[in-house]
Amino acid sequence: MVRVCQWVLLIGEKQCVELSRYMMIKGKENILYIANAPEYGKKTFKERLDKEILSIKKQFPEAKIIGVADGAKENWTFLEQYTVANTLDYYHATEYLSKASKGIHPRSKVQRETWYEKASDTLKNVQDGAKDLLQEIEGLKDKKLSLSIKNGVDATITYFNNMMWLH
């Protein structure tokens, strides 16, 4: 008998979602993709997604659903009714680290890339790594930076502050 280990629900701003079912036997995986044309408020998309999630829950009542999403608040509001745990989309978060790297090392591309790689690893592999990175990036607030770099640093600080509840 194949028993479902977990479902992972990936949701993003582009009104598309991936539902992945990870099986305990032979590492089998089923993936269901749902996508919609852009629509204000995502009503149709959310209705379709809701239907699929309820179908999964009916078919696999003991399955654990884990949410993975970008930083959009409405995604988390939607996910919380279905998930046992949530996590931030790592690749989306690293886009912000790239912006911050320009404030950390504004003059050296090599140092910037080295910092980015280390910061990405910290985010992924270090307990409370996001908090440590946020603290380091917040240290740039008083540093003299070009407006575009400062805006990127500020956006990164806002993003990580908004996502701290996940950690």
| Closest by CA position to 129, among listed 87, 99, 79 | 87
Looking at residue 71, its pLDDT comes to: 73
Looking at residue 10, its pLDDT comes to: 56
115 to each of 36, 119, 141, how far by Cα in Å? 37, 6, 18
What's the pLDDT tens digit per position in 55-109?
Answer: 878 877 877 787 887 777 777 788 888 888 887 788 889 999 999 999 999 999 9
The mean pLDDT of the chain is 80
- Residues 146, 93 contacting (CB under 8 angstroms): no
Looking at residue 107, its pLDDT comes to: 94
Q: Would the pLDDT of 120 be above 90?
A: yes
- Residues 100, 155 contacting (CB under 8 angstroms): no
Neighbours of 14 (CB within 10 A): 11
What's the pLDDT tens digit per position in 6-27?
Answer: 445 555 555 455 555 554 444 5
User: How many helices and strands (H and E) does the chain possess?
Assistant: 6, 5
What's the pLDDT tens digit per position in 29-69?
Answer: 566 667 667 777 678 878 888 888 888 788 778 777 878 87
Higher pLDDT, 83 or 28: 83
Domains of the chain: 4-88 (3.30.420.10), 90-166 (no CATH)
Looking at residue 28, its pLDDT comes to: 53
